[in-house]
A and B are shown apart, each in its own frame.
Chain A
Amino acid sequence: MTEELMLSGCIRNNATAQEALYNRFSPRMLGVCYRFAKNREDAEDMLQEGFIKVFTQIHQYRNEGALEGWIRRIVVHTCINILKKNKKFADSVDIIHATSVHVKEEMIPSIMQAKQVVECIRTLPLGYKTVLNLYAIEGYSHKEIASMLDIEESTSRSQYTRAKAMLEEILIRKKIIQKQRKRSDFYGAVSPS
């Protein structure tokens, strides 16, 4: 089913078109949710909420930009809204001096490539990983992040800086990247040291 057919079907609330659109985009969107969520179940809840919004607002899609990008923004905003309802999140994202948080080694599953990187991101404290996800992966500016999370822009920046440092440490420890900071390091295998 082409994207145009799916779109027109979804606008008419056609279940087949909706399912086709869901099947096409849900795996990647669940990957997005999983980076924000505590566990897979929460991620699926976020995905569910997100797609309900997608289908109920799909008539607002104006073919400006990729459909996936539009869906992704809705899903990300849904994730943030769900996270914001959790008091822990508000505490976590607003604490700047959270550098003492230690990541337990056993919490990082040794799974290769994308899964491994995502799992490493998920081991970060809630506030860190949210800002990192939004800034580094989703491409939001610190100003936008500050607005989304109801925090100061400077807080977003500091959270991101610390998150990145902590993630680097984890990735180095897991030998996904090397300490030597060269461009080629990120695309090559890790040399045994």
Chain B
Amino acid sequence: MDRNFYSDDFEQLLKEKADQFRMYPSKRVWHSIYNNLHPSRRWPSAAMSMLLIISLLLTGYLNTSDNSITNQFVKSSDTENINSSQSTQKTGTQKTVFTNTKHQQLPNTGADYVAKAFTTTESELLTYTDVKTPDPNTIDATIQNNQKEEQFAVENKTANSDKDVFQTAENTGKGITQVIDTYIKTNQIFVDIANANNKTKIKISTPAANNTKEEEFTGADENDLNKTGNEKASTKKSLASPANSVVSNKPVAVNENSVVKKDINLNAKSLSPEEKAWIDNYALQNKSRSNKWKDKLDFEFYITPAVNYRKLTTDSKGSATPFATTGDINKFISQKPGLGVETGVGLSYAFAKNLKLKTGIQFNYTNYNINADQTNHPVLTTLLLNDPTTGYSYLASRTSTISNAYNSSALQPIQIHNRTYQISIPVGLSYKLSSTNNVEWFAGASVQPTYIFGGNAHLISSDLKSYVSDPSSISNWNLNLGFETYMNYKLGGYRLQVGPQVRYQVYSTYRKNVALIEKPYAVGLKVGIIKGF
């Protein structure tokens, strides 16, 4: 029978406590629900994402629109430091959050106090707080046997502080019950004291204190009364201004078998936005720390087949400017986009709700094709180069066995390939535009410092009739920008990532002394797999 009682009570306890528990969802949840229920009104999300992508593309384009080879240095700009200080203490309706719990033993008693100390408003307390106080018998015994009293000196601390919540000071001349009362009121926590027997009566007289607000109510929750049978319940709560770490002028009288219960019928609307925000923050702060970083960190592997394009321009100065009369040089070259590929591994860290920082290492193979003709014998031709010291262009003699397809002297059609092999370290951000249970939609951009460790370059001659093969003209260092939008699909413990990507090379493929400026870009479809830690 006892067992049944026990079992029922245990389940009742669980149900009761679980029902009391509330959390306040972030605004994102309602926005997602709203967007889902009213799809016709979700244009701002799509428009914003398009705006983001366009602005990123535009920024990249404008920053690189100057085709001057001599302008191949990364411009540094002043950065603005934004100092964001988080003040967690407020005056007036001050809330101080303590996230640490202390187990302190009263000297000579062995009484174990488990106390969670944080100052809150009534509503917050109703949701989260509870204090387990020692058995009053023990308190009495402590008073009688030791005549030694203690005081908890409560420190006002900021949220997330890991310092002690309260300190014990001996021989301060205050009664132990007063000490508890002080502690309770100072921390604005409801006290849940239940006596185990009928002996204990604690009478408390506390010194008056100014500026201490206190209110009383009686009558426990009806259900609670039912559950406790013939137990008489008297309920008391005290609210004190957090700013006042003083003892209330009204004592907390704990009657026999008294139970201080919180009002579980809390109306959420009684909470102010500040209080809700605090509760949100509290819930977030109290998430399990051990796996926090793991939850936010993802490993990804991806591969991106891409089509490579290029834009060819010239940069010449002085009398030797043969391209000046030709206009758009691309019109005199027969070229076809080529297939390239990008593959890499990376880590992403969700440092905000919808924002991920991504980095990793990736390999790129770029390629585009040029239609040309093979000549029977080497021909003498010239390349337009820039003198790095004077900045003026000059013609340098070269030999060539490849003729431009536009050259009527061509003999045998061939296709030549300008290729590069690159290693880069992309660093970027991804923004979650929307998500459902299994699908997430992201837009992202990255900066990719790049090292080009190999490849081949065919440069058009100054007379546009021949191609000169010159791999040494490729600059080893470059900078690329990546823009992408992709969907993540949850597949068990993995996520499949699919989406289009654009990669744009900021600086010319060729070294500064080459009067040709080649800026390739690639459009590809990124396919990746993501695994959390």
Contacts and interface: CB of A to CB of B under 8 A. Distances in A.
Contact of B196 (A107, A117, A191): A191
Contacts of A56: 37
Contacts of B133: 189
Contact of A27 (B15, B22, B112, B194): B22
A7 interface: no
Contact of A18 (B37, B195, B262): B37
Contacts of A19: 30, 34
A23 interface: yes
Interface stretch (B280-288, B340-348, B387-395): B280-288
Given A34-B23, A55-B37, A118-B17, A181 B228 contact: no
Interface in A131-172: 132-133, 136-137, 139, 164, 167-168
Contact of B15 (A26, A136, A176, A191): A136
Interface in A41-87: 41, 43-45, 47-49, 51-52, 55-56, 82, 85-87
A186 B437 contact: no
A186 B189 CA distance: 20
B132 A118 contact: no
Query: Quick one: which of A82, A111, A185 has the most chain B CB within 10 A?
Result: A111
Interface stretch (B1-9, B205-213, B420-428): B1-9
Contacts of A23: 268-269
A15 B493 contact: no
Given A45-B437, A114-B130, A190-B132, A184 B21 contact: no
A179 to B, nearest CB: 11
Contact of A137 (B2, B15, B36, B283): B15
A109 B286 contact: yes
Interface of A: 13, 15, 18-19, 22-24, 26-28, 30-31, 34-35, 39-41, 43-45, 47-49, 51-52, 55-56, 82, 85-88, 104, 106-107, 109-119, 121, 132-133, 136-137, 139, 164, 167-168, 175-177, 181-193
B128 interface: yes
Instruction: Classify chain B: how many residues form its interface, as a range.
Output: 35 or more
Query: Quick one: which of B22, B30, B109, B111 has the most chain A CB within 10 A?
Result: B22
B454 interface: no
A31 B23 contact: yes
27 contacts: A15-B34, A18-B33, A26-B25, A27-B23, A30-B23, A31-B23, A39-B288, A40-B23, A44-B25, A45-B435, A48-B33, A49-B437, A51-B29, A52-B37, A87-B493, A112-B132, A112-B189, A113-B129, A114-B127, A114-B130, A116-B130, A117-B18, A121-B14, A182-B6, A183-B9, A188-B196, A191-B134
A113 B130 contact: yes
Contact of A112 (B9, B112, B116, B269): B116
Contacts of A118: 17-18, 21
A112 B123 CA distance: 15
A84 to B, nearest CB: 12
Contacts of B438: 85
Interface in B174-200: 189, 192-196
Contacts of B6: 181-183
B116 A192 contact: no
A136 B11 contact: yes
B24 interface: yes
B165 to A, nearest CB: 11
B195 A22 contact: no
Nearest to A34: B23
Query: Quick one: which of A35, A55, A118, A192 has the most chain B CB within 10 A?
Result: A192
A133 B5 CA distance: 20
B134 A88 contact: no
Contacts of B22: 27-28, 30-31
Contacts of A190: 114, 132
B391 to A, nearest CB: 57
A57 to B, nearest CB: 12
Contacts of A121: 14, 18
A48 B109 contact: no
B288 A88 contact: no
A112 B26 CA distance: 23
Contact of A188 (B38, B194, B268, B492): B194
A87 B492 CA distance: 6
Given A48-B437, A132-B14, 19 more contacts: A18-B34, A30-B22, A30-B23, A30-B25, A39-B287, A40-B284, A44-B28, A52-B33, A52-B36, A86-B492, A112-B131, A113-B192, A137-B19, A181-B2, A184-B196, A184-B228, A187-B224, A189-B194, A191-B138
Contact of B437 (A13, A82, A88, A109): A82
Contact of A186 (B13, B32, B38): B13
Contacts of A44: 25-26, 28-29
B290 A107 contact: yes
Closest CB pairs A-B (n = 3) = A113-B130, A188-B194, A112-B130
